[in-house]
Amino acid sequence: MLEKLINTKHVCPCWLCYTFDNPLRKIFHDPVEILSPYVHQGNTAIDIGPGMGYFTIPLAELVGPAGRVTAIDIQQKMLSALMNRAQNKGVADRIKTHLAGTDSIGFNEKADFILAFWMAHEVPDEQKFFSEISDLMKPDGLFLLVEPLLHVSRKNFARTVETAKSVGFVIKESPEIRMSQSALFTLGKKGCR
């Protein structure tokens, strides 16, 4: 993520991703089950803080050959590992990576779907972060925010949701995702650009 938007002391290091970015995780977080209600063939999607691509690669499979996925992170090591895995899965041509800058995501292509899975708690300036995400959304786009239940209190998650609402997001639903709390957002009138 963004160095100024994310407290880099709390950014998940690349080596730690191997502990939870593995086949056993599918028991709790099946990416296709979680994402398929919202992502379709031909869509454009953005995965913010993608780690090594646990959700990015299934996103690329869901959008199909006509779709595109952008993985955005502040760690080049994560993005490189993600692209190696995408190459092995045969979907690298559908994925592009973007190394975020120090004061902005630095990306301006609109997306049908944006995912921030277990990473928003690393962001010290959530209002700026959500404002930048709203700028990346198509008017009818969806933004899925998922935070870890054991790491982020319900009170803090409620505060995060209120911050997202303050920049124009509207909750469409709260999907049930194991070990997580989540909100699926659309843009309200205030958030449409």
Domain ranges of the chain: 8-191
Residue 58 in this model has a pLDDT that exceeds 80: yes
Q: CA 190, CA 166: separation in Å to the nearest integer?
A: 9
How many residues in total does the chain contain? 193
Quick one: pLDDT band at residue 119, thresholds 50, 70, 90?
very high
- Mean pLDDT value across residues 175-191: 89
CATH 3.40.50.150 assigned to domain 8-191? The reply is yes
Average confidence score pLDDT of the chain: 88
pLDDT at 7: 43
DSSP annotation string for 170-181: EEEE----TTEE
| Positive/negative CA dihedral, 19, 21, 24, 26 | positive
CB atoms within 10 A of CB 138: 16
DSSP state of 103: S
Which is more confident, 63 or 106?
63
What the block records as the tokens of 107 is 């990306």
Residue-wise pLDDT for 68-88, tens only, equals 999 999 899 999 999 999 999
Quick one: pLDDT band at residue 28, thresholds 50, 70, 90?
confident
Q: CA 114, CA 136: separation in Å to the nearest integer?
A: 8
Least-confidence region, from 15-19, 73-77, 103-107, 169-173: 15-19
pLDDT-above-90 percentage for the chain? 74
Residue 98 in this model has a pLDDT that exceeds 90: yes
Residue 122 in this model has a pLDDT that exceeds 70: yes
Residue 191 in this model has a pLDDT that exceeds 50: no
